Amino acid sequence: MKVQNPIIGRARGSAGGMTFCKNYDKNVARAKAFEVSNPNTQAQQTQRNFFKQLTALCSDFSEDQLRTLFPSKPKTMSRRNALSKQIAESYAIDGTEKNIDFANIDTLGNAPVLDFGVVEFESLGISYIVSFNDLATNYPSLSDNDVAVVLFNVTKKAVSFSQETATVSTVEYELAIPSGWSPNDKLSGVLLVLNSKNGEFATKGFGKVQVLKRPARKND
């Protein structure tokens, strides 16, 4: 892909081996795709199935939730595409299958990162609980800030972004079990510190509240 010089103006359509189009206010030239002898190899099928998983998962996030996760709009792609690219970094390969590794998703969005310390997710049988004592101890200036959690059901390969509230100072965050989930399902998740305080998140809602701090990826 090549970005055109704006001096030549807007070019659209195809010429020779190139196709011209507009992408986020840029002139973009791409080489035309030529027919291949085998357009449906096992590797291609694997990759298509993986992107189907990504598309299905990311479609579960509303536009308001995406605005909460991405306070700054990405410059070269939509928030949903940025989320898809981020989640795509967490995958597992088993033979010819490539799947989202839900347990390995440890950050979301583009807010500034912070060392949250140990964050634990567990089931109480009638609810889920998230514990974050390190966060409360190490950052007393965030005590009144609301927290949110994106829960991943590793067993069912599902996601839930709850608007239930807690603050950093509570050191624990209890959530109702989402419909269709089980107390025995394996959990993981991403804890997020919001710019709202003392329960404002519950009244303001997604889109109007933004993530203030998120955990960094462990492998970055």
Radius of gyration, alpha carbons of the chain: 21
The 3-state DSSP class for residue 121 equals strand
Question: Taking all residues of the chain, what is their mean pLDDT, rounded to a whole number?
Answer: 88
Q: Is the pLDDT of residue 68 over 90?
A: yes
Please report, for residues 80, 96, 132, the alpha-carbon distance to residue 73 in angstroms, rounded to integers and kept in the order given.
Answer: 10, 35, 28
| CB atoms inside a 10 Å sphere around CB 198 | 13
- What are the domain boundaries of the chain? 2-31, 44-215
pLDDT digits (tens, 9 = 90+) for 149-173: 999 999 999 999 989 989 999 999 9
Tokens of residue 136, six digits: 């409360």
- The interaxial angle of helices 42-58 and 79-87, nearest 10 deg, is 130
Q: What pLDDT, on a 0 to 100 scale, did the predictor assign at position 33?
A: 59
